[in-house]
A and B are shown apart, each in its own frame.
Chain A
Amino acid sequence: MTEKKQEKHGEFEREPVPASKTKGLKAFVGMYAGEHCAGTELMIGPLFVAAGVSAFDVLGGLFLGNLLAVLSWMFLCAPIAVRCRLTLYYQLEKICGRRLVTLYNLANGVMFCFLAGSMITVSATALGVWFNFPMPGLNDLLPNSMGWVLAVLAIGAIISVVAAWGYETVSKVANIAAPWMVLVFLGFGIIGLRQFIEVTGAEVNSLSSLWNLCTEHIWKGGDPLPGQVKFTFWHVTFFAWFCNMAMHVGMSDLSVLRFAKKPWHAVASASGMYVGHFMAWLAASILYALQLHMDPTNTNVLPGPLAYRAAGVAGLICVIVAGWTTANPTIYRAGLAFQAIMPNKSRFAVTIGTGLLATLAGMFPAIAMRLLGFVALYGLILMPMGAVVFADFWILPKLGLKQYYAEHRGLKINWAAGIAWIATLAICVALVLSGKPQFQIYFVSLPGWFIATALYIGVSKLQQKGERA
């Protein structure tokens, strides 16, 4: 196919990106900064406070965890992306076979739906400020009022229709909103800090007095709120590292970074990590800590009211736009994943169906209120396939084994990859259920990656016994 035809049918979905279409560092800086400054940041920051983090743990943990995430993009994902220049899906198809990729697409699509659901939840909390209906509390798992259900339904329906019809327009609005949104997040932090100074009467005139305010009033540490898991330095570090695990270790960003001129251009992910997953999380957590300081019984994590108290209507607009602009591409991506399974259905019908599923998920506050655990689970489910891609690219040739085995043998399922995926998940779930603190859902993906790699290599060796690379 010519380049023109390829572009028309998608962006080089089944062949390497040509050198003429590669992009420089700058193209990725803005993309990562925008993508990782989303509605869910307004949930995650407050949930850290609810988990009883201390100032050192949250600042140090976020610094280290985000650094590890950037290094994962640079040294795990980008080198393969730039050498192969293929989408994850095509690369997986060559390794795993079409049927296994279909299963992967299904898992990916379902997780995207839940993630989009939590973004719709975030936007709906802004409507709660305007229409004053009861909103879910921190430990609510089910919708608690008709107003809430209708608000989620209204926002979800609009987002779904727009995702199906006007994806390009929303993408344009998202690009325009991105720099404004980042600065509004920064504004939240500055305003929250000032309000803390006012209500505590603290004098902040040096770095050490600012640190005192942080340790004594904002991120005090101690016990988590009832029903929450206590977060230590390592929890924060691993959460920040693994919350985008599907993208870096899980290799989903092969599809993005295949357009990079050089592997080191993945350093651009630092813009997303330190703007969205450092500054925005801290700013949102300051607003929630202030709410708890003013009224310790008000433990509700509701981005709408938090933003409204700090920045008024501009804050509410930010909550709606942040949820909307990020839910939109997420529903679109989930729709694409599902469409790969049902190629005969129209893109419109699949996207609407996907949006409705996300809306249904958004009605249940369980996902948003348990977002820390859900995000860790999301990474865990998709991570083993990243380990398979890594081992297939770097390790198998060194052991004299065939790469892209499914393509080589014309298999629909490469059982080496299938076993690596399913067995890793089973082992990791068993480890989590063992209840040992070192195997909490936040940490288990690290041993899980080594297990998946070892399983894929081991089963590939057995599978290819007697064959030559």
Chain B
Amino acid sequence: MKKIMETISYLSLVLIVAAPSLFYAGAIDLEMNKMLMLLATIVWFASALCWMGREKKAAS
């Protein structure tokens, strides 16, 4: 489960940069870029909360 959440988190980070890059390339418009960035933001916080803090706790 943790591995899946980690993968989802990293994919959302990729999307945070991919959306502006696609906008730069002219593949999407600004509104679509804003929507994708918001989606990536929500996914990042939702998924990262599941594993980021816990990893350190386990280590300590």
Interfacial residues, chain A to chain B (CB-CB below 8 A):
172, 175-177, 179-180, 183-184, 186-187, 190-191, 193-195, 311-315, 317
Assess whether B13 is in contact with A314, with CB atoms less than 8 Å apart: no
Chain B nearest CB, measured from A166 CB (Å): 13
Q: Contacts A186-B17, A191-B24, A193-B24 given; indicate if A314 touches B37 (C-beta within 8 A).
A: yes
CB contacts (< 8 Å) of B34 on chain A: these are: 311-315
Q: In the bound complex, what is the Cα–Cα distance between A311 and B44 (angstroms)?
A: 16
Q: Which residues of B contact A (CB under 8 A)?
A: 13, 16-17, 19-21, 23-24, 26, 30-31, 33-35, 37-38, 40-41, 44-45, 48-49, 52-53
Residues from chain A with a CB closer than 8 A to the CB of B13 are: 179-180, 183
Chain B residue numbers with a CB within 8 Å of A317 are: 41
DSSP class of A's interface residues: helix, strand, loop or mixed? Answer: helix
Q: Across the interface, which residues of B come within 8 angstroms of A195, CB to CB?
A: 30
- Across the interface, which residues of A come within 8 angstroms of B48, CB to CB? 176, 180
Cα-based distance from A191 to B45 in the complex (angstroms): 22
- CB A338 to nearest CB in B, in angstroms, measures 29
- B20 near A187 with CB under 8 A, answer yes
- Provided the pairs A180-B16, A180-B45, A183-B17 are in contact, do residues A314 and B24 lie with their beta carbons within 8 angstroms? no
- Whether A190 contacts B20 in the complex (CB less than 8 A), given A176-B45, A314-B38, A315-B37, comes out as yes
What are 17 sample pairs from A and B whose C-beta atoms fall under 8 A apart? A176-B45, A176-B52, A179-B13, A180-B16, A180-B41, A180-B44, A183-B17, A187-B16, A190-B24, A191-B30, A194-B20, A194-B26, A311-B37, A312-B34, A312-B38, A314-B37, A314-B41
| B10 and chain A: residue at smallest CB distance | A179
Tell me whether A191 and B33 are in contact in the complex, defined as CB-CB below 8 angstroms, given that A176-B45, A313-B38 are known contacts. yes
Which of A176, A177, A187 makes the CB contact (< 8 A) with B19?
A: A187
Cα distance A177–B41 in the bound complex, in angstroms: 10
- The answer for the CA separation of A315 and B44 in the assembled complex, in Å, is 14
Please indicate the chain A residues that have their CB under 8 angstroms from the CB of B37 in the complex. Answer: 184, 187, 311-312, 314-315
Closest chain A CB from B24 CB (angstroms): 4
CA distance in complex: A153, B35 (Å)? 30
Chain B proximity of A286: nearest CB distance (Å): 12
- Given A172, A175, A314, which contacts B40 in the complex, CB threshold below 8 Å? A314
Closest to A316 in B: B38
Residues of A close to B23: CB separation below 8 A: 190-191, 194
Q: What residues on A are CB-neighbors of B40 within 8 Å?
A: 314
Residue of B nearest to A179 (CB): B13
Q: Which residues of B contact A180 (CB under 8 A)?
A: 13, 16, 41, 44-45, 48
Residues of B within 8 A of A313 (CB): 34, 38
Considering only CB atoms, which chain B residue lies closest to A313 in the complex? B38
Given A180-B13, A183-B13, decide whether A190 and B41 contact each other with a Cβ distance below 8 A.
Answer: no
Docked CA distance A193–B24 (Å): 8
Provide the residues of chain A in CB contact with B30, threshold 8 Å.
191, 195
In angstroms, Cα B33 to Cα A312, docked, is: 9
Distance A179 CA – B33 CA, assembled complex (angstroms) = 19
Chain B, Cβ-Cβ closest to A180: B44
The CA of A311 and the CA of B45, in the complex, are separated in Å by 17
List the 8 shortest-distance A-B pairs measured between CB atoms, nearest first: A312-B34, A314-B37, A190-B20, A187-B20, A194-B24, A183-B16, A314-B41, A314-B38
